[in-house]
A = this chain, B = another copy of it.
């Protein structure tokens, strides 16, 4: 069984994801389809990129990942199939694969330009159904990528906000807030300027002294700083929502300092 994953901003009210599954199963009844998320905030390409970068490493080699966060559908943006080490990626050329591709060698980039494998009539508003789902299904049947279109330039990226490092500090920002209200930053474990237990994290009115291994190390209602399961610095509220309690939005600056330890 070949696995096809779906990542979209379709939400859960409408049948768009179900329709893509119908298209895929009509072409390859043996495909195994897995939902990564249909709750990406509308048109939020960065959030979609984070979903893929967190999820892809946990899927078997050969998995086909389809992403449809696609505000440019119907414009000149390319529809792409990217063959990388161990995985295939199918979706719009808007940077949604750029995070997951940072750590992978791209073998081929194909523009999905062969209309023989598009659904007819082909809409200008739902390429997930008409172009991406069929491409994933034919690829899962073993069709060569080149049959689906023509070689093209490498995919576009987006400007990922890199944290800026000082000697004993690092500055970053909140890039994502998850469903628990945890505040996820762009600061990775390797960016930290000192041992986790000796750091002071500041964002908005929150100050957290020392990172801990897990939420359970702090009492209910206390803020927790930790390196999360994606290896990113995360600020949480023990048994609560840091987002609701603090009102801190995406984009908020985050400063991490090595604690002097001795104060004058």
User: Which B residues touch A1, using CB under 8 A?
Assistant: 29-30
Alpha-carbon separation in the docked complex, A101 to B217 (Å): 29
Give the residue name and chain of the B residue nearest to A180 (CB). Answer: B42
- Given contacts A22-B34, A228-B125, whether A239 and B71 have CB atoms under 8 Å apart is yes
- Asked whether A32 lies within 8 Å of B25 as measured between CB atoms, the reply is yes
Give the residue name and chain of the B residue nearest to A12 (CB). Answer: B39
User: Which B residues touch A63, using CB under 8 A?
Assistant: 22
- Asked whether A73 lies within 8 Å of B129 as measured between CB atoms, the reply is no
Alpha-carbon separation in the docked complex, A10 to B74 (Å): 33
Give the residue name and chain of the B residue nearest to A241 (CB). Answer: B42
Q: Using an 8 Å CB-CB cutoff, how does the interface string of A176-215 with B read, 1 for contact, 0 for none?
A: 0011100000000000000000000000000000000111
22 A–B contacts, CB within 8 A, in A order:
A7-B15, A11-B39, A11-B180, A13-B41, A13-B178, A17-B35, A18-B36, A19-B58, A22-B34, A22-B60, A22-B63, A23-B58, A25-B34, A26-B59, A29-B32, A72-B216, A73-B216, A74-B214, A123-B228, A124-B226, A125-B213, A125-B228
Give the residue name and chain of the B residue nearest to A29 (CB). Answer: B1
User: Which B residues touch A42, using CB under 8 A?
Assistant: 180, 241
- Asked whether B71 lies within 8 Å of A19 as measured between CB atoms, the reply is no
User: Which B residues touch A58, using CB under 8 A?
Assistant: 19, 22-23, 26, 129
Q: Shortest CB–CB separation between residue A138 and chain B, in angstroms? A: 15
User: Which B residues touch A41, using CB under 8 A?
Assistant: 13
Q: Using an 8 Å CB-CB cutoff, how does the interface string of A15-50 with B read, 1 for contact, 0 for none?
A: 101110111011001101011111111110000000
Give the residue name and chain of the B residue nearest to A37 (CB). Answer: B15
Alpha-carbon separation in the docked complex, A174 to B81 (Å): 37
User: Which B residues touch A129, using CB under 8 A?
Assistant: 58, 229
The secondary structure that dominates the A interface is loop
Alpha-carbon separation in the docked complex, A250 to B179 (Å): 22
- Asked whether A54 lies within 8 Å of B179 as measured between CB atoms, the reply is no
* Chain A residues in the interface with B (C-beta under 8 A): 1, 3, 5, 7, 10-15, 17-19, 21-23, 25-26, 29-30, 32, 34-43, 51, 54-55, 58-60, 63, 71-75, 77, 123-126, 129-130, 178-180, 213-217, 226, 228-229, 239, 241
User: Which B residues touch A7, using CB under 8 A?
Assistant: 15
User: Which B residues touch A72, using CB under 8 A?
Assistant: 216
- Asked whether B35 lies within 8 Å of A18 as measured between CB atoms, the reply is yes
Alpha-carbon separation in the docked complex, A125 to B25 (Å): 33
